[in-house]
Amino acid sequence: MSDRPAVPARDRFRLPRWGQRGTAGASIPAQLSFDHIVQTYSSTEALKGVSLTIEPGELVCLLGHSGCGKTTLLRIAAGVEAPTSGRVLMDGFEVSGAKRFVEPERRGIGLMFQDYALFPHMTILQNVKFGLKDLSASEADIAARRALSRVGLEHYANEFPHTLSGGEQQRVALARSIAPRPGVLLMDEPFSNLDRRMRDAIRDETVAILRETGATTVVVTHDPEEAMRIADRIVLMQSGTIVQQGSAEEIYRRPVNLFAARFFCDFNEIEGNVRKGQVSCPVGVFPAPGLEDGPAIVCVRPQGVRLKPPGFCLPGRVVSRRFLGEVDLVHIDVPGLDRPLQARVHDPVDVREGQDVGIEVEPKDVLVFAAADA
């Protein structure tokens, strides 16, 4: 918990509109900025100077492996923790920093966690009304019912959480977090407890509701596909720092380093050597613009490996072939490679284990990084 001073009484009247809860007015999306946030827990530096601005109404995914600092950043935004140093600003107004600490309940920020945390002894309506304490009873009732109707669950108002499915409970949690019309909504792995079958549908529905409410939204996830599906902008983190940020397509097509590349694709990684802007490796010669001469890692997307009749191109021998529904995954032994090359083949190919094939690699599916980057 914070050891920072709370907002002095005189400042409370100066909070921007997102900080004035209970007006039942329309949600006003806020800009959320992190300015050189450092967070240290004894010997662990969980955040190492993170700066990031999320624009009003934007949906940003914080993406990264376990322990990279995603949740810590979310907790600092919410005001559940104060940063060791650095500032959090909402619409340019400092809410965490050396000078000021605005209490969580006055930030106009909604929170939703993976376990939903619905109160089992309260009805669905009471659960949704829980965060509306600043409103009169009748206003809270109207706001809660409106939020429930937005997620399509108004008919469950008088039920208890245990009578609802996991997906329905997730929607109640969403209704509870949007009912106060927060300017910023923070969601920590909100879909991870749903089974795969319903996850896609609920995710799409949630994003549609978020777009409708217009709230600035930050979603924490470790699933690159989920981030690509929902985010306007993905912020990729590693060990308490931001590695890269951009649209899904930007990061996927132009990862800044091997870490970012690996996060989005299960590449074939092949040792190569760069000379005069070109890299040579056992599967061919490819452009390597901007790279210095020396050892390199050539990353070939499995979908960029084409199988041809033998004899005309690079020779290979099929080690295995697996039918995965939309694609076949084929492993091919290639001279000079110590591991089989993976190919994801869309068109049905008539290849069997042990068969000789020719291989072509699409240059657009090749990325090259300096070996020192590995």
Nearer to ligand ATP, 186 or 341 (CB): 186
State yes or no: residue 67 binds ligand ATP (CB under 6 A): yes
> Could you tell me the smallest distance in angstroms from the CB atom of residue 68 to ligand ATP?
4
Residue 22: which region, alpha, beta or left (left: phi > 0; alpha: psi -120 to 50)?
left
Piece of 13-21, 68-76, 132-140, 263-271 that binds ligand ATP (CB under 6 A): 68-76
Burial of 18 (0-12, 13-18, 19+ CB in 10 A): buried
Nearer to ligand ATP, 33 or 71 (CB): 71
Is residue 149 a contact partner of residue 129, using CB atoms and an 8 Å limit? no
* Among the listed residues 363, 321, 358, the one whose alpha carbon sits nearest the alpha carbon of residue 342: 321
DSSP letter, residue 59: E
> Could you tell me the smallest distance in angstroms from the CB atom of residue 104 to ligand ATP?
16
State yes or no: residue 222 binds ligand ATP (CB under 6 A): yes
Partners of 45 in the β-ladder: 40
State yes or no: residue 46 binds ligand ATP (CB under 6 A): yes
Contacts for 253-259: CB closer than 8 Å, 24+ residues apart:
255/367, 257/369, 257/373, 258/297, 258/299, 258/369, 258/373, 258/374
State yes or no: residue 68 binds ligand ATP (CB under 6 A): yes
Nearer to ligand ATP, 157 or 236 (CB): 236
Q: According to CB under 6 A, which one of 19, 64, 161, 180 is a site residue for ligand ATP?
A: 64
Burial of 133 (0-12, 13-18, 19+ CB in 10 A): exposed
Nearer to ligand ATP, 151 or 235 (CB): 235
State yes or no: residue 149 binds ligand ATP (CB under 6 A): no
Piece of 70-78, 163-171, 192-200, 294-302 that binds ligand ATP (CB under 6 A): 70-78
| DSSP code string of 65-130 | STTSSHHHHHHHHHTSS--SEEEEEETTEEEESSS-B--GGGTTEEEEETT----TTS-HHHHHHT
DSSP letter, residue 267: -
Strand order in the sheet with 314-323: 305-308, 356-361, 314-323, 328-333, 341-345
Piece of 69-77, 147-155, 175-183, 252-260 that binds ligand ATP (CB under 6 A): 69-77
Nearer to ligand ATP, 2 or 20 (CB): 2
State yes or no: residue 282 binds ligand ATP (CB under 6 A): no
State yes or no: residue 44 binds ligand ATP (CB under 6 A): yes
* Among the listed residues 44, 45, 43, 35, the one whose alpha carbon sits nearest the alpha carbon of residue 100: 35
Nearer to ligand ATP, 51 or 165 (CB): 51
- Please state whether beta strands 305-308 and 356-361 pair in parallel, antiparallel, or not at all (unpaired): antiparallel
> Could you tell me the smallest distance in angstroms from the CB atom of residue 373 to ligand ATP?
22
> Could you tell me the smallest distance in angstroms from the CB atom of residue 174 to ligand ATP?
20
Q: According to CB under 6 A, which one of 14, 17, 23, 41 is a site residue for ligand ATP?
A: 41
> Could you tell me the smallest distance in angstroms from the CB atom of residue 65 to ligand ATP?
7
Q: According to CB under 6 A, which one of 43, 66, 138, 158 is a site residue for ligand ATP?
A: 66
Residues forming the site for ligand ATP (CB under 6 A): 41, 44, 46, 64, 66-72, 222
